[in-house]
Chain A
Amino acid sequence: MSKEEFCNMISISEPGPGDGGNTGSWRVLRPVLDATKCIPAKTGKPSCFNCWLYCPDGVVTKTIPPTIDYTYCKGCGICAEECPSGAITMVDEASFTKEEK
């Protein structure tokens, strides 16, 4: 039996992003990072990275500064809450949508 035949016989899924679609569309608030307050950005050294550690969706990169994948970020705000230097603020998503238009 061919691979295609088997894959039509049962529900067998292949790994890939976006099973829930572009979950960034769920956002009501968007996290915005201010590099002037972000500890790794200010020091230029790997440090803190709380936002990366605590993100439930793994959309924050462990980079200097951290970046956020807005295609999938759900806007939960954990990164903002756990940032020790207040570098991340949650901003109304509606304001961005207008700008993007």
Chain B
Amino acid sequence: MHVIESGNVAAATGVKLARTQVIAAYPITPQTPLTEKLSEFVEGGELPAEYIPVESEHSAMAVCIASSTAGARSFTATSANGLLYMNEQLHWAAGSRLPIVMCVANRGVGAPWTVWNDHQDTVSQRDLGWIQLYCADHQQIHDTVIKAFKLAETVSIPVMVCYDGYLLSHTYMPFDQPEQEQVDAFLPPFAPEHFLNPEAPRNFNTVTLPDVRPDIHGNTAPGYMEIRKTLHSDLRGAIGEIEKIDGEFGEIFGRGGEPFVEPYRCDDADYVAFCMGSLSYQVRDVVDAMREEGTKVGVMGLKVYRPFPDVAVRDALAKCKGVIVLEKALSYGNQGALFADVKSALFSAETRPFVHNYIVGLGGREIKTEHLYDALTESINNEAAIGDEPQWVGLKM
């Protein structure tokens, strides 16, 4: 069914089609219409889920952690300061290997207060052990939410589905909404092996000692370090699962084939602009303009940020002369976060392109296409002069 709806509603209908069982959410701009739509679905009877209007985001994730441990498919959504308020719970969800799905309508973080879009909220959470997926349009939002539940439940790792606040959450685009039967064929019911069950009582997420210890059967049980290593290994292994699930999705829904990066005119590109979210589509206009002038430029949107698909990124970029990373976040005191990850992936390549770092759009600062054009031009023409320091696009003072 073809619909025209907002990004938030694209997400909400994905949650509904995934037959989510427990939803707990706290309103925060620009996520609010998503939670409002879900409560409409639940109260109207379209979605037979438990909807808990919690009193904070920390509690929203607490509800999801507990309900997921009890064996119910669970979802929440938030933005910016709400995400940060639940920070300890995010670590908890990853460490307790729960297949929770959360949408984040990306927004800048305070202080100073902002309600407008950038990626600092989720990018600052890249070390948690969550899978982080970024969407560039409404179809991707809708599809990624559905895929996220399957991925989370396959690898037992929570998944964050990120999309730009306002730029995607509040704008309207056409997209295809599949039938419930198709989604049911793709996503079976959540049936965990271990869950809170008086017939087989277990104590979940108990205190671990630094060293290993025997269990009640005399077998050695892992210590904290082994459990954490398993999270990391499984997160790296999820790269393979992401590709597999993308393939399965494609077979049923006819969309897919680019699980990690979305390239535009990159096949013969000397220079590639690299970014996440809706920005990559805006950069396409710049690519087209520069191509007209004879510069072989392409743009690549990264869809999977964690686990970082270093092999796919290296394969895609190593043969270029230059990579221009455009991002809406940074690792304060060092460099752009995505920039550092890209450089790291390219480090082991036999020949390496130059990599430049451009910070754009913080706190919703308008990203003018002509400024992006200037940035790319400057980067390509003044390569040596631009080092590792982040370059800032769109400053006014």
Q: Does B381 contact A (CB under 8 A)?
A: no
Could you give, for residues 178-203 of chain B, a 1 whenever the CB lies within 8 Å of some chain A CB and a 0 otherwise? Answer: 00000000000000011000000111
**3 pairs of A and B residues whose beta carbons are closest in the complex:** A16-B216, A13-B203, A13-B206
Bound state CA distance, A7 and B204, in angstroms? 10
Judge whether A12 and B194 touch: CB under 8 Å.
yes
B36 interface residue per 8 A CB criterion: no
Which chain B positions have C-beta within 8 A of A10? 95-97, 204-205, 227
- Starting from the known contacts A6-B97, A8-B230, 9 additional A-B residue pairs (CB-CB under 8 Å) come to A6-B193, A9-B231, A10-B96, A11-B208, A11-B227, A12-B194, A12-B202, A12-B205, A15-B216
Do A8 and B193 form a contact, CB below 8 Å, given A1-B156, A13-B203?
A: no
> What is the interface size of chain A, counting residues whose CB is below 8 A from a CB of the partner?
13
Q: B: which residues have CB within 8 A of A?
A: 95-97, 156, 193-194, 201-208, 215-217, 221-222, 224, 226-227, 230-231, 234
In the complex, the answer to whether B193 meets A9 with C-beta atoms within 8 Å is no
Residues of A contacting B221 with CB < 8 Å?
A: 7-8
B230 CB to closest chain A CB, in angstroms?
A: 5
Residues in A with CB closer than 8 Å to B224 are: 11
Contact count A vs B, C-beta below 8 Å: 52
Q: Is the interface of A mostly helix, strand, loop or mixed?
A: mixed
A1-43 CB mask vs B (1 if < 8 Å, else 0) is 1010011111111111000000000000000000000000000
B235 to chain A, nearest CB (A): 12
Q: Which residue of A lies closest to B157 (CB)?
A: A9
Whether A9 and B156, one on each chain, are in contact in the complex, defined by CB atoms closer than 8 angstroms, is: yes
Q: Which of A8, A12, A13 contacts B226 (CB 8 A)?
A: A8
